[in-house]
Amino acid sequence: MYIAIVSVGLISYVFLKIFKTESKIIGTFIMNSFRGNYAYIGLPVSYFTFGDKGLVIASIYMAFIVPFVNFLSIISLTIFSSTKKNLSKIFKQIIFNPLAIGCIIGIIFSFFKIKIPLSIDRFLNINSSATLPLALLAIGASINFDKLKSSLKLSIINSLFKLIFLPLIGFIIIFIMKIPIDLKSKIIIILLATPSATVNFVLASTMNGDANLSANTIILSTILSFFTYSIYLYLFSFL
């Protein structure tokens, strides 16, 4: 999965550089191309397709993939959204990014099995449950139909990178490495084929990325994923 994610990021970069795309668009496009909606779409699809076993495998994969894509997203947006290409400044922005700090703290708590006090745990659960609705409201409020028309082509391309190119690269890697096309491999494809994550919009907005492109890609990729998932699940029946 890691190789596929990095590969689609590099392909996105080369593709956009060929067309001399604006820097902040590059960072957002790259993030949208690999950061998927694992929790709200990847897990349910895994569960309803393969049952409890599929859900367990997908959850285990998520534990490794989420911190990885979080850090890659921060790196992508920081490098391409930074006004000054100063390596030390970029490095500091990456290390001290709140999302990066949160990931590191989460990994430490998980590794050392540190228990969170019940009151704090409940408070965090209440806040986390509000994240998706608030993000969706922000996306809806940010939609500008004039800008939607102007960036529609790029949003469609971005959605295709996420829904088709990324899982295709994943399948090619599985084939080249002669990994059996079993339940685990199919779960990998399902997770790679998830539409762009809703939180991508929040990151693009707060880190000087292209929030408009992110919002459009989230909407388009989510709609198109109904069709791409239908195709992938149909093809699974032959494997």
How confident is the model over 86-139, as pLDDT tens digits? 666 666 766 666 766 776 777 787 777 778 777 777 766 766 666 556 655 655
* Most confident among 27-36, 64-73, 80-89 (mean pLDDT): 27-36
- Could you tell me how far CA 63 lies from the centroid of its own chain? 14
What mean pLDDT, rounded, does the chain reach? Answer: 85
Radius of gyration of the chain (CA): 18
Q: Could you read off the pLDDT of 179-222 as tens digits, one per residue?
A: 998 999 999 999 999 999 988 998 998 888 998 899 899 999 99
165 — pLDDT class (breaks 50, 70, 90): very high
What is the residue-wise DSSP string for 120-177? HHHHHHHHHHTHHHHHHHHHHHH--HHHHHHTHHHHHHHHHIIIIIHHHHHHHHHHHT
Contacts of residue 58, Cβ cutoff 8 Å, sequence gap at least 6: 38, 42, 43, 46, 47, 187, 190, 191
What ranges do the domains of the chain cover? 2-236
The pTM for the full model equals 0.86
Amino acid 93: pLDDT = 65
Percent of the chain with pLDDT over 70: 80
Amino acid 1: pLDDT = 82
Q: Does residue 43 register a pLDDT over 60?
A: yes
- SS3 for 117? coil
**Burial level of 83, CB count in 10 A (0-12/13-18/19+)?**
exposed
Amino acid 63: pLDDT = 85
Amino acid 49: pLDDT = 94
